[in-house]
């Protein structure tokens, strides 16, 4: 009897979590997948089963490929740089220096600011006539560049904003991890003759691996998720130069009201993220040491 | 030859110095224990020798070189930390050869030295394990192996046994001493445990408040304590300190006898306050009212009970006398050769 009661209790306890997860995560994924196999319902024509037609259309869609490619560049550049910067900043503010509390706060500030506000500030930075970047580069003979208006530079400008926004957030995790490392290890290593560089690569970095894995997974997800500033700064332009997958999904779903195609793109995005996460875990698992 | 020599070394962070003008030498192949209660500056002293702290003034020599301004890596020392400071992500073997790798010792020599050292500390079967998979005693051996493999002239130990249980501590005490003597290592050993210091060291340096209280072989500290602090710190139970007018009489519990005693003996009377049976002997504590207690060590068991009135006596030849400041008063006792 107690066995059954325990089981019932256990299920009752996990029920709220299950309900929430199912309602807002699992069921939407399944319905989205089903939706991607149907055509979009129109007032006179209900949705009908079309199999993989939406996916075929997607493969033939140059904007999809452009968005995917943009997103890969966006993630491929912003993730490693923001993570590396986070480590460097964490090492810096973990040391004994004056005003480090202030520095930590300064590094963390971009994380606290709403992305929409941040985007507006950067919009001003990038302004070709009076922007901060322009003012800064004027002495070097570079002026009047329409940073956000050019296909060559717009995506890179957004990448810079993402790095600036993300690095401080990841720094906090590294800072917490660094403070877990016993100072005895540094002293033992210094007696053995290890310099700062050796100590970092042979001891600190390996001990930070669990944090790096966590940060990487989050950074990759964020690179596909964080699109707020695109709306404010470029709206995906010029000529889709800054369109990424999630942005494209929004445009297709809520501007063109093509829900079936939006569902198709969503499934692709989810699959991509799942693959990346699994890949990172498999790759990192052998190299991560958990204490 | 002195392997470690300190000359008037002082370290202060605030106005009160943690180490006050400390000087001593450690001859080659000797184990010197720095003993003292917590906060006496013993760990700071070791860190000064290691180069982990810089002295405010004074001079430190290791193996005949002035190392006062040198970084730890150039002082030719090895060190065992209280926490062992093992690298948790590296295997036992990698932990042991860490220093050799950093110093770019060739692979063949590394392997050879590792095999030898692993054999000495009996870690050969565990070389592939991570520190987390080892017992406390095994971790201690890894730390020891890392110090031995460096083959440096001086080995520093910072309370290396304080994280082990009593049984293991005893084993390791014997083992470390045997190892130190077999390999002819020069060792500076910091501890707060007087048993460790007394059983292992050639010379004990007892510290108090940043200065050396007494320096000498264990027997000298035990038999001829220079101050009441030394008398009450060394020995378990410590020396009885019996006030008597202007002086304080110090007498070891094993020299206190039952009965009223004869002419010339020092006699005291009191009630039994506690009886501690230890197997081979019994410690009887006799209360003297406001004059404190006197402990007597009696062989075997005893029929004495708490509350019994008891006469005690001892021979003045076996006592140490201290003045009001707690300093030893020199006596004409040629029979007490040390």
A198 to chain B nearest CA, in Å? 8
| pLDDT, tens digit (0-9, with 9 covering 90-100), for A6-55 | 999 999 999 999 999 999 989 999 999 988 888 887 878 887 888 888 88
Can you list the alpha helix ranges (DSSP code H) found in B83-193? 92-102, 107-120, 136-149, 166-183
Please choose, from the candidates B253, B255, B260, the residue with its C-alpha nearest in 3D space to the C-alpha of residue B274.
Answer: B253
Please choose, from the candidates B139, B145, B179, the residue with its C-alpha nearest in 3D space to the C-alpha of residue B161.
Answer: B139
Range B257-280 average pLDDT: 89
The total number of residues written for chain B in this structure: 338
| pLDDT, tens digit (0-9, with 9 covering 90-100), for A237-252 | 788 888 888 888 998 8
Q: Which of A177, A183, A186, A191 to mutate to test the interface with B (most CBs of B within 10 A)?
A: A191
Range A269-286 average pLDDT: 84
B196 to chain A nearest CA, in Å? 23
Q: pLDDT class for B22, splitting at 50, 70, 90?
A: very high
Q: What percent of chain A has pLDDT over 70?
A: 97
| pLDDT, tens digit (0-9, with 9 covering 90-100), for B122-153 | 899 999 999 999 988 899 999 999 999 988 98
CATH topology of domain B242-322: OB fold (Dihydrolipoamide Acetyltransferase, E2P) (2.40.50)
Task: Quote the Cα angle for B184-B117-B42, to 5°.
Answer: 55
Dihedrals phi, psi of B286, to nearest 5 degrees: -110, 125
**Beta carbons of A190 and B71 less than 8 Å apart:** yes
What SS3 state is found at B88? Answer: coil
Q: pLDDT class for B220, splitting at 50, 70, 90?
A: very high
Q: What is the ipTM of this complex?
A: 0.82
Range A83-104 average pLDDT: 86
Q: Is the dihedral of CA A165, A76, A237, A134 positive or negative?
A: positive
Q: Which pLDDT score is estimated for B1?
A: 60
Range A48-65 average pLDDT: 85
- pLDDT at position B229 over 90: yes
**Beta carbons of A203 and B87 less than 8 Å apart:** yes
Q: Which pLDDT score is estimated for A289?
A: 66
Q: In chain A, what residues touch B132 (CB-CB under 8 Å)?
A: 291
Range A255-268 average pLDDT: 88
Please choose, from the candidates A286, A248, A278, the residue with its C-alpha nearest in 3D space to the C-alpha of residue A266.
Answer: A248
A205 to chain B: nearest residue by CA?
B89
Q: Which pLDDT score is estimated for B162?
A: 87
- Helix axis angle for A154-180 and A100-112, nearest 10°, is 130
Please choose, from the candidates B44, B98, B79, B84, the residue with its C-alpha nearest in 3D space to the C-alpha of residue B153.
Answer: B79
- pLDDT at position A291 over 70: no
> Does domain A62-285 correspond to CATH entry 1.10.3720.10?
yes
Q: Give the strand pairing for B19-27 and B203-208.
A: unpaired
Q: Supply the mean pLDDT for chain B.
A: 90
Residues B239, B242, B244, B250, Cα dihedral to 10°:
-10
- pLDDT at position A87 over 90: yes
Q: Which pLDDT score is estimated for B177?
A: 93
Residue among B85, B102, B103 whose CB faces A187 most closely: B85
Q: Which pLDDT score is estimated for A19?
A: 94
Neighbouring C-beta atoms of residue A247, cutoff 10 Å? 21
Residue A80 CA: distances (Å) to CA of A243, B153, B317? 21, 45, 79
Q: Which of A182, A187, A190, A192 to mutate to test the interface with B (most CBs of B within 10 A)?
A: A192
The number of CA neighbours under 13 Å toward the Cβ of B175 is 17
Q: Give B72-77's long-range contacts (Cβ < 8 A, gap of 24+).
A: B72/A187, B72/A190, B72/A191, B73/A190, B73/A191, B73/A192, B73/A193, B73/A194, B75/B49, B75/B50, B75/B51, B75/B154, B76/B152, B76/B153, B76/B154, B77/A191, B77/B49, B77/B50, B77/B51, B77/B152, B77/B153, B77/B154, B77/B155, B77/B156
Q: Which CATH architecture has domain B2-223?
A: 3-Layer(aba) Sandwich (3.40)
- pLDDT at position A144 over 50: yes
Where along chain A do its domains lie?
Answer: 62-285
Q: pLDDT class for B335, splitting at 50, 70, 90?
A: low
Residue among A182, A193, A202 whose CB faces B83 most closely: A182
Q: pLDDT class for B244, splitting at 50, 70, 90?
A: confident
Range B294-305 average pLDDT: 90
Q: Give the strand pairing for B2-11 and B257-258.
A: unpaired
Residue among A188, A198, A209 whose CB faces B85 most closely: A188
B51 to chain A nearest CA, in Å? 8
Cβ-contact B4, B62 below 8 angstroms: yes
- Residue A149, Cβ density class (10 Å: 0-12 exposed, 13-18 middle, ≥19 buried): middle
DSSP B329: P
Q: Which pLDDT score is estimated for A1?
A: 63
B81 to chain A nearest CA, in Å? 8
**Beta carbons of B73 and A191 less than 8 Å apart:** yes
Q: Which pLDDT score is estimated for B338?
A: 44
**Beta carbons of B99 and A192 less than 8 Å apart:** yes
Range B48-65 average pLDDT: 92
- pLDDT at position A283 over 80: no
Q: pLDDT class for B337, splitting at 50, 70, 90?
A: very low
**Beta carbons of B99 and A202 less than 8 Å apart:** no
B239 to chain A nearest CA, in Å? 37
**Beta carbons of A187 and B89 less than 8 Å apart:** no
Q: pLDDT class for B163, splitting at 50, 70, 90?
A: confident
Cβ-contact A47, A38 below 8 angstroms: yes
Cβ-contact B197, B219 below 8 angstroms: no
Q: Is the dihedral of CA A213, A214, A215, A220 positive or negative?
A: positive
- The CA-to-CA distance between both ends of chain B, in Å, stands at 24
Where along chain B do its domains lie?
Answer: 2-223, 242-322
Cβ-contact A37, A51 below 8 angstroms: yes
B131 to chain A nearest CA, in Å? 10
* Separation of alpha carbons B126 and B91, rounded Å: 9
Range B235-254 average pLDDT: 90
The total number of residues written for chain A in this structure: 291
Q: Which of B44, B48, B52, B142 to mutate to test the interface with A (most CBs of A within 10 A)?
A: B52
Task: Quote the Cα angle for B169-B173-B175, to 5°.
Answer: 115
């Amino acid at each position: 009897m107690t066995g059954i009661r325990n089981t019932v209790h256990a299920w009752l306890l996990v029920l709220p979590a299950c309900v929430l997860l199912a309602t807002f995560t699992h069921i939407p994924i399944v319905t989205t997948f089903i939706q991607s196999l149907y055509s979009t319902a129109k007032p006179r024509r209900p949705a009908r089963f079309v199999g993989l037609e939406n996916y075929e259309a997607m493969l033939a869609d140059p904007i999809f490929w452009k968005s995917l490619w943009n997103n890969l560049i966006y993630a491929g550049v912003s993730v490693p740089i923001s993570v590396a910067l986070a480590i460097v900043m964490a090492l810096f503010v973990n040391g004994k220096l004056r005003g480090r509390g202030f520095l930590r706060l300064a590094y963390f500030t971009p994380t606290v600011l709403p992305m929409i506000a941040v985007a507006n500030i950067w919009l001003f930075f990038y302004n070709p006539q009076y922007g901060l970047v322009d003012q800064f580069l004027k002495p070097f003979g570079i002026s009047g560049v329409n940073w956000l208006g050019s296909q060559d530079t717009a995506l890179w400008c957004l990448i810079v904003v993402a790095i600036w926004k993300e690095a401080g957030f990841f720094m906090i995790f590294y800072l917490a991890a660094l403070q877990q490392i016993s100072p005895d290890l540094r002293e033992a290593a210094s007696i053995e003759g290890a310099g700062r560089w050796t100590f970092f690569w042979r001891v600190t970095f390996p001990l930070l691996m669990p944090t790096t894995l966590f940060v990487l997974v989050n950074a990759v997800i964020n690179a596909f998720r964080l699109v707020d500033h695109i709306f404010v700064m470029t709206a995906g332009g010029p000529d889709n130069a800054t369109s990424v997958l999630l942005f494209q999904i929004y445009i297709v779903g809520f501007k063109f009201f093509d829900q079936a195609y939006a569902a198709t793109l969503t499934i692709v995005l989810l699959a991509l993220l799942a693959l990346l996460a699994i890949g990172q875990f498999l790759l990192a698992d052998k190299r991560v040491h958990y204490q | 030859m002195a392997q470690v020599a300190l000359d008037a070394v002082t370290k202060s962070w605030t106005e009160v110095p943690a180490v006050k003008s400390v000087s001593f030498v450690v001859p080659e192949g000797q184990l010197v224990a720095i003993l003292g209660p917590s906060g006496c500056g013993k760990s700071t002293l070791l860190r000064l020798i290691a180069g982990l702290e810089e002295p405010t003034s004074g001079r430190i020599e290791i193996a005949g070189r002035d190392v006062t301004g040198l970084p730890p890596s150039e002082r030719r020392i090895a060190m065992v930390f209280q926490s062992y400071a093992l690298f948790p992500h590296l295997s036992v073997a990698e932990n042991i050869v860490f220093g050799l790798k950093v110093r770019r010792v060739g692979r063949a020599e590394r392997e050879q030295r590792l095999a030898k050292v692993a054999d000495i500390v009996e870690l050969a079967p565990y070389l592939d394990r991570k520190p987390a998979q080892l017992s406390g005693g095994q971790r201690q051996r890894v730390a020891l192996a890392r110090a031995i493999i460096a083959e440096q002239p001086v080995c520093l130990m910072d309370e290396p046994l304080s994280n082990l249980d009593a049984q293991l501590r005893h084993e390791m005490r014997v083992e470390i001493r045997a190892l130190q003597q077999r390999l002819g290592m020069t060792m500076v050993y910091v501890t707060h445990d007087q048993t460790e210091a007394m059983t292992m060291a050639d010379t004990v340096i007892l510290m108090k408040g940043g200065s050396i209280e007494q320096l000498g072989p264990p027997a000298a500290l035990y038999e001829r304590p220079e101050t009441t602090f030394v008398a009450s710190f060394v020995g378990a139970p410590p020396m009885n300190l019996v006030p008597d007018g202007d002086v304080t009489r110090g007498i070891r519990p094993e020299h206190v006898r039952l009965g009223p005693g004869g002419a010339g003996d020092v006699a005291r009377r009191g009630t039994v306050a506690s009886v501690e049976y230890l197997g081979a002997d019994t410690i009887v504590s006799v209360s003297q009212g406001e004059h404190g207690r006197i402990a007597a060590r009696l062989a075997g068991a005893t029929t004495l009970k708490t509350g019994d009135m008891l006469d005690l006596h001892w021979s003045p030849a076996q006592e140490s006398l201290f003045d009001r400041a707690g300093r030893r008063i020199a006596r004409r006792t040629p029979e007490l050769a040390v």
